[in-house]
């Protein structure tokens, strides 16, 4: 997909024709190429995408035109239900029927429900949320219904962020399709640097770590506690490098086209609490959960808003988040864990509300908070990555009891000592860059772009060279991003 040579050539063609066309036709070109891109994965996917687009477009127009509040609510509910039912059919049918069969097994039933072979339209989890946010924004008058079907279709299908986000709002993305943009060399350079940084994180860090992580999580019983603990830590790095790399690449591509996508990460592993983590990790999803589930739930209970109601709402939000990520009990437990973290933090905040200090906490307190938060997040990643709930609990038990010491499995027997040293050196380079970005509050691509020309090109060449030399192109498909599976 995004990290393939075919996509690179596709983007060059899109870019060249985009700036060659008169401004009034550019939206149409982007729409055509977005559907070509999605159709190249499967023509069947485009049918689902277009149908959901057409229905949500019509319902939003009806909501805006309708004066009767009850009919507005009816169209809103219809839009939300149809969107999530469509998502549910493609994503959760197998999980639901498998769970029913498990219950039947426990009850001793001899019959089972056959599992249908349902294909999964990649990206549907993301553009479903984008569609629902649009319908709800039109209902609350936070956005106007887009009268132009083609431009609304582009909002849903815009190819850089179609598959894995960022999850955009109509009020932010739609107006940009009508902005007059001329080719700008600065946009090109800024975008290319960010794309290069994304490829570095993906190919040099994430895909190299994937080999080790996959080996440990595919057969955890073969590894001792120290190796499982290391694999869990490396997965924390892998998933961040992988997902943030995708966002860097697509935001850089959109930037070259003169379109600004929403930032999706803000140094999440420097978060000082679970709530702070979700302000920094997958920001557009966190904002969606807050605005379209958490706040409406709180508003509905405003007359009797107790700590219990708040806790229930937080758990419901993260139960939804877990289910949204994947149709498996591991994701549900991951979501409930994060919900539990936040519920405890909110309860502690309530107790400490009158004791708040306006002074900045000491550095060691901040460092301690960051360490604890990272530990909690990393613990939850075990369920997120494990292939089953049993595997997850086995890994946790082994790590915390320091068990399975006799296991002889090696995470690194396919590499030389030098290659292992290179991997850890690259991780340290990433860590140093992340710390520098966090402290300076400036992203690395902005730093590179603002350096003198000679230094800038030197850094760019080093970046390209390291991707070519240290990038991993072997067993793991370099085009497969983790979040593409959701």
- Residue scoring higher pLDDT (450 or 50): 50
pLDDT computed for residue 473 by the predictor: 64
Cα of 389 vs its chain's centroid, Å: 22
* DSSP annotation of 326: -
**Residue ranges per domain, the chain?**
5-181, 187-485
CA distance 192 to 185: 11
| Range with the poorest average pLDDT among 46-60, 315-329, 454-468 | 454-468
Residues 385-423 pLDDT 10s = 999 999 999 999 999 998 776 666 677 666 667 777 888
Mean pLDDT calculated for residue range 116-129 = 92
* DSSP annotation of 294: I
Question: Could you tell me the sign of the dihedral formed by the alpha carbons of 19, 25, 28, 29, in that order?
Answer: negative
Mean pLDDT calculated for residue range 21-31 = 96
pLDDT computed for residue 357 by the predictor: 62
Q: Nearest 10 degrees: CA dihedral of 275, 267, 382, 384?
A: 80
Helix axes 329-351, 389-401, angle to 10 degrees: 60
CA distance 312 to 314: 6
CA distance 210 to 181: 39
CA distance 78 to 55: 10
Of these ranges, 93-97, 129-133, 175-179, 311-315, the one predicted with the greatest mean pLDDT is 129-133
**232-271 as b/e: b if 16+ CB within 10 A:** bbbbbbbbbbbbbbbbbbbbbbbbbbbbebbebbbbbbbb
Cα of 456 vs its chain's centroid, Å: 30
Among residues 172, 255, 267, 325, the one annotated as catalytic is 325
Do the beta carbons of residue 144 and residue 166 sit within 8 Å? no
Q: Tell me the pTM.
A: 0.93
Residues 288-321 pLDDT 10s = 999 999 999 988 888 787 888 989 999 999 999 9
- Residue scoring higher pLDDT (21 or 452): 21
For the record, the structure tokens of 485 come out as: 């599976």
CA distance 141 to 144: 6
Q: Where are the alpha helices (DSSP H) in 158-206?
A: 159-162, 170-173, 185-199
Look at phi and psi of residue 472 and say left if phi exceeds 0, alpha if psi is from -120 to 50, else beta.
beta
CA distance 74 to 63: 9
Residues 342-401 pLDDT 10s = 999 998 888 777 666 667 788 889 999 999 999 999 999 999 999 999 999 999 999 999
Is 325 in the active site?
yes
Q: HEC states along 333-392?
A: HHHHHHHHHHHHHHHHHHHCHHHCCCCCCCHHHHHHHHHHHHHHHHHHHHHHHCCCHHHH
């Amino acid at each position: 997909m995004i990290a393939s040579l075919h996509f690179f050539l596709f983007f060059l063609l899109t870019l060249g024709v985009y700036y060659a066309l008169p401004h009034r036709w550019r939206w149409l070109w982007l729409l055509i190429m977005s559907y070509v891109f999605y159709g190249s994965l499967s023509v069947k996917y485009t049918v689902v995408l277009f149908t959901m687009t057409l229905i949500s477009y019509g319902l939003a127009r009806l909501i805006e035109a309708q004066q009767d509040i009850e009919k507005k609510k009816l169209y809103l509910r219809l839009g939300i239900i149809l969107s999530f039912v469509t998502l549910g059919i493609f994503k959760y049918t197998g999980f639901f029927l498998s769970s029913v069969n498990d219950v039947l097994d426990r009850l001793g039933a001899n019959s089972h429900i056959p599992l249908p072979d349902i294909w999964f339209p990649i990206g549907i989890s993301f553009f479903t949320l984008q569609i629902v946010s649009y319908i709800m924004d039109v209902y609350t008058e936070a956005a106007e219904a887009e009268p132009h079907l083609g431009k609304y279709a582009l909002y849903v299908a815009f190819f850089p962020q179609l598959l894995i986000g960022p999850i955009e709002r109509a009020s932010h993305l739609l107006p940009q399709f009508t902005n007059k943009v001329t080719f700008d060399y600065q946009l090109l350079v800024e975008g290319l640097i960010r794309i290069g940084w994304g490829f570095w994180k993906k190919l040099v860090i994430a895909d190299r770590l994937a080999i080790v992580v996959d080996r440990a999580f595919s057969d955890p019983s073969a590894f001792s506690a120290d190796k499982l603990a290391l694999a869990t830590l490396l997965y924390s790095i892998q998933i961040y490098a992988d997902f943030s790399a995708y966002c860097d690449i697509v935001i850089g591509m959109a930037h070259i086209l003169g379109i600004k996508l929403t930032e999706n990460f803000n140094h999440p592993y420097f978060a000082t609490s679970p709530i702070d983590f979700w302000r920094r990790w997958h920001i557009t999803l966190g904002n969606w959960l807050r605005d379209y589930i958490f706040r409406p739930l709180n508003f509905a209970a405003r007359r009797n808003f107790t700590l219990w109601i708040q806790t229930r709402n937080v758990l419901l939000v993260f139960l939804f988040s877990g289910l949204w990520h994947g149709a498996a009990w591991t994701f549900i437990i991951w979501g409930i864990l994060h919900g539990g973290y936040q519920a405890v933090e909110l309860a502690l905040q309530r107790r400490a509300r009158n004791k708040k200090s306006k002074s900045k906490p000491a550095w060691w307190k901040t460092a301690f908070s960051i360490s604890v938060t990272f530990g909690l997040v990393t613990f939850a990643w075990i369920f997120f990555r494990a292939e089953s709930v049993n595997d997850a609990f086995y890994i946790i038990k082994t790590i915390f009891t320091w068990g399975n010491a006799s296991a002889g499995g090696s995470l690194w027997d396919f590499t030389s000592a030098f290659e292992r040293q290179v991997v850890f050196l690259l991780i340290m380079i990433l860590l140093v860059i992340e710390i520098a970005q966090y402290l300076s509050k400036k992203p690395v691509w902005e730093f590179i772009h603002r350096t003198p020309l000679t230094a800038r090109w030197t850094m760019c060449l080093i970046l390209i060279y390291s991707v070519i030399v240290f990038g991993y192109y072997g067993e793991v498909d370099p085009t497969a991003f983790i979040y593409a599976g959701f």
